[in-house]
Amino acid sequence: MARELLKGNVAMAEAAVRVGLEAYFGYPITPQTELLEHLSARLPELGRTFVQAESEVAAINMVYGAACTGTRVMTSSSSPGISLMQEGISYIAGTELPAVLINVMRGGPGLGNIAPSQSDYNQAVKGGGHGDYNLIVLAPSTVQEAIDLVVLSFDLAEKYRMITMMLADGSIGQMMEPAELPQMRPVVRKDWDWAVTGAKDRDRRILSSIYINPPLEEETNIRLMKRWQEVEANEVRYKEYYLDDADFVVIGFGTSGRVALSAVRAARAEGIKVGLLRPISLNPFPFALVEELAEKASAFLVVEMNSGQMLEDIRLATKGRIPVEFYARLGGIVPFPDEVLSEIHRIATTKLNTKIHPRDAWLARFTAQNGGGS
Amino acid sequence: MTNEIAIAENIVYSRPKSLTEVHNHYCPGCTHGIAHRLIAEVLDEMGIRDKTIGVAPVGCSVFAYNYFDCDFVEAAHGRAPAMATGIKRVLPDRAVFTYQGDGDLASIGMAEIMHAAARGENISVIFINNAIYGMTGGQMAPTTLPGQKTTSSPTGRDVETAGYPIRMAEILANMDGAGYIVRRSLHDPKNIRLSKKAIRTAFETQMHGLGFSLVELLSTCPTNWGFTPVESLTWLQEHMIPVFPLGDFKVSEHLAAIKL
């Protein structure tokens, strides 16, 4: 396949179509609407299912129904819509069904705005809905990576019978870049031994997230935990840049990781030995690698488009062994590479204060420089 | 002696094949058991047990999936029509039905039921209206009658503060996507027979692709109403039917051409 100039939202939608997406249920919300629009044309022309639901609550429950039949099913939304979907996400997790979700994150909380943000990290990685469960969470930093991760998402969801969530942001969804789509694959409806399809020539099947007897719920919780251990052992993904001889390491995911890479390259051109770790799987998180890097590096700089949500995971893995610094832009603002480069300069040239929480230190520096927030 | 009598031509009444051989959890005198049996008889008569997928609600009938010998899923509260939509759209030749109570369908699930009807989803909805929340212990429902005492309207439903009962069949009959919308009652044998015929027609509506179908069944809740089973049947007849009149609210003209 040739590289084409593709918009992120359209690219993710078309990638899903080509790897056998049979049904999509969604609700319009900026900045992911082109994804829904693309599928509203594509799926019917291929004889597949597209429904514009009355709400995100209905959309995720339609996904829940279709997932029960074992078909490849997906929905997409943006932050406020994903909040509405949390009920269904919890039920799908509790029923142990595969499904793919795309969150094209925007600024929040509340109605917020429609600009790129990463402030749903905690919601995606730490829970969001009720009960003990995990989602596989993948964060793309380019349109090409978004395509590749959509392809992977369906395989992971089916392998582990769980939801894979793509945690993209408004800039990934809205930007156009050259990228290559996968080949069109035939739709294969697998004969899952759990799928509800009508009890023809077999015993009836029941799919439910209810375990009214607490010992059975505990058994289910433990089954989910053990499956999650398998995911942790096999599905950690990240990308390393200039880490071999790095004195200190910048860590960022998705768009902030990509911006940080530009800054790291500029710093390298100046002779500063700095590297970059870009986690791709945010859940499971590359804890072991961060721990390993904390043994070698003199400091970390965490860059995020939120108030330091992944920062807490980095601090957990670092266990106070080295200083962790933080830089953020919030509210739908994407940092410029120069902003990150200034932080790299600061870390390279000043003694770091490890007594103050990195978030507090950043907030003090940021407000001193820019004011605001009062 | 017994075996000699139980020969096939002597059996006039037995458990439908589509009902599982388990004791249900419903209270004595509750009409859920009747509604379940009627659905199972219809699945048997139409020969569609092995191509039927049921969607259970949240409420007293949350465990409905235990009682039908067909594939079943368990929805979140009120979301059964959305879940049924997801199933029916990817398996259009299956029979998909939801079984929902009044709190599930007419309160928390109001958006899902209205839009499933508006889209003309080819699903059948069996709507149990007993004017109360049974599972949680007798609270006010969207169909609770004015003045009716419940555990959350202890002095009787005051329409000034708690509003009025919702007539779902009448509302849904306004939807162009609906093919068959009726209200029946389970309070006596005649009405039970009419209810079964309506359930059959609802499934036929779906199998003929004539759009959304719903059978509202007026039902009793002796436990939470605080009456005996027989008193409950009388109360239904005397108090519910005046508020929720029985009848056909929408019957697709194409249905008339189908001989049942």
| Residue B81 distance to chain A (closest CA, Å) | 8
User: B109-165 pLDDT, tens per residue?
Assistant: 999 999 999 999 999 999 999 999 999 999 999 999 999 999 999 999 999 999 999
Extract the residue ranges of chain A whose pLDDT is less than 50. none
In this prediction, residue B150 carries a pLDDT of: 97
Nearest to A198 among B53, B75, B114 (CB): B53
Distance of CA A337 to the CA centre of its chain: 22
The shortest C-alpha distance from B230 to chain A (Å) reads 31
How far is A221 from A133, CA to CA, in rounded Å?
A: 8
What is residue B9's predicted lDDT score, i.e. its pLDDT?
84
User: Across the interface, do B72 and A204 touch by the CB < 8 Å criterion?
Assistant: yes
**What are the backbone dihedrals phi and psi of residue B218, each rounded to the nearest 5 degrees, phi first?**
-70, 130
Q: For residue B90, give the nearest of A71, A198, A210 by CB distance.
A: A71
Nearest-10 Cα torsion for B139, B140, B143, B145: 120
Rounded to 10 degrees, the C-alpha dihedral A13/A17/A18/A22 comes to 150
Token pair recorded at residue B3 = 């075996």
Please give the torsion angle defined by the CA atoms of residues A235, A239, A244 and A247, in that order, rounded to the nearest 10 degrees: -110
For residue B4, name the pLDDT band (cuts at 50, 70, 90): low
Name the residue in chain A with its Cα closest to that of B108. A57
**CA distance, residue B95 to nearest chain A CA (Å):** 9
Report CB contact under 8 Å: B75, A64: yes
A88, A198, A208 member nearest B94 (Cβ): A198
Sorting pLDDT into bands at 50, 70 and 90, what band is B180?
very high
Cα three-residue angle B138-B143-B144, rounded to 5 degrees = 50
Return the residue in B20, B46, B66, B85 with the most chain A beta carbons within 10 A, the one to mutate for interface testing: B85
Q: Which of A55, A62, A209 sits opposite B86 (nearest CB)?
A: A62
Please give, rounded to a whole number of angstroms, the shortest distance from the CA of A87 to a CA of chain B: 8
Nearest CB among A53, A55, A209 relative to B74 is that of A209
Q: Which tokens hold the place of A259?
A: 């911006």
Closest-approach residue (CA) in chain B for A57? B79
Query: Pairing state of beta strands A300-304 and A324-328?
Result: parallel
What 3-state class would DSSP assign to B107? helix
Contacts of A209 in chain B (CB under 8 A): 74
Phi then psi for A114, rounded to 5 degrees?
A: -110, 15
Instruction: Tell me which residue of A320, A280, A279 sits closest to A299, measured CA to CA.
Output: A320
CA separation (Å) from A110 to A54, A106, A120? Answer: 20, 10, 12
Q: Under an 8 A CB cutoff, do B90 and A69 touch?
A: yes
For chain A, list residues whose CB is within 8 angstroms of any CB belonging to chain B: 22-23, 25, 49, 51, 53-55, 57-59, 61-69, 71, 73, 87-88, 91, 95, 196-201, 204-210
Please report residues of B whose CB lies closer than 8 A to that of A53: 82, 115
Q: Which of A130, A197, A220 to mutate to test the interface with B (most CBs of B within 10 A)?
A: A197
Would the CA dihedral through B138, B142, B144, B146 be positive or negative? positive
Binning pLDDT at 50, 70 and 90, where does residue B10 land? confident
Where do the domains of chain A lie, and which CATH numbers do they carry? 3-234 (3.40.50.970), 238-370 (3.40.50.920)
Q: In this predicted model, what pLDDT tens digit does every residue of A277-327 receive, in sequence order?
A: 999 999 999 999 999 999 999 999 999 999 999 999 999 999 999 999 999
In this model, does residue B215 exceed pLDDT 80?
yes
Contact B90 A49 (CB under 8 A): yes
Are A206 and B79 an interchain contact pair (Cβ–Cβ within 8 Å)? Answer: no
Beta strands A206-207 and B71-74, pairing class: parallel
CA distance A268 to A64: 48
Contact A92, A67 (CB under 8 A): yes
Q: Which of the four pLDDT bands, split at 50, 70 and 90, describes residue B3?
A: low
d(CA A282, CA A313): 10
pLDDT of residue A370: 85
A69 interaction partners in chain B (CB closer than 8 Å): 86-87, 90-91
Shortest distance between the Cα of B217 and any Cα of chain A, in A, equals 25
Report d(CA A194, CA A197) in Å as an integer. 9
Q: Which fold has domain B14-256?
A: Rossmann fold (3.40.50)
Q: Alpha helices of chain B — where are they, by DSSP H? A: 2-5, 32-46, 80-90, 102-103, 110-118, 159-162, 168-172, 189-207, 222-225, 229-235, 241-243, 253-256
Q: Is there a contact between A54 and B111 if contact means CB atoms under 8 Å apart?
A: yes
Quote helix, strand, coil % in chain A, to nearest 5: 45, 20, 35
Predicted complex: ipTM over 0.90: yes
Q: Which of A25, A56, A61, A84 to mutate to test the interface with B (most CBs of B within 10 A)?
A: A61
Measured between CA atoms, the residue of chain A closest to residue B74 is A208
Yes or no, beta carbons of B82 and A61 under 8 Å apart? yes
For position A356, what pLDDT does the model report? 93
| Averaged pLDDT score across all residues of chain B | 96
Distance (Å, whole) CA B121 – CA B90: 12
d(CA B87, CA A50): 13
Tokens of A366: 């940021």
Answer whether A68 sits within 8 Å of B72, measured CB to CB: no
E-assigned strands of chain A? 3-7, 23-26, 49-52, 73-77, 99-105, 136-138, 163-169, 176-180, 206-207, 238-241, 248-251, 274-279, 281-283, 300-304, 324-328
Q: Could you tell me how many CB contacts below 8 A there are between chain A and chain B? A: 127
pLDDT of residue B22: 94
Helix or strand or coil: residue A2?
coil
Pairing of strands A274-279, A163-169: unpaired
Q: In chain A, what residues touch B90 (CB-CB under 8 Å)?
A: 22-23, 49, 66, 69, 71, 73
Q: Give CA–CA dist A163/A89, Å, rounded.
A: 8
Distance from CA of B187 to the nearest CA of A (A): 31
Per DSSP, helices labelled H in B13-154 are 32-46, 80-90, 102-103, 110-118
Q: Checking phi first, is residue A320 left (phi over 0); if not, alpha (psi -120 to 50) or beta?
A: left
Minimum-distance CB partner of A208 among B74, B82, B115: B74
The nearest CA of chain A is from the CA of B63 a distance in Å of 9
Mutate to test the interface with B, among A62, A63, A90, A192 (most CBs of B within 10 A): A62
| Among chain A residues, CA nearest to B94 | A198
Chain A CB contacts of B70 under 8 Å are 198-199, 204
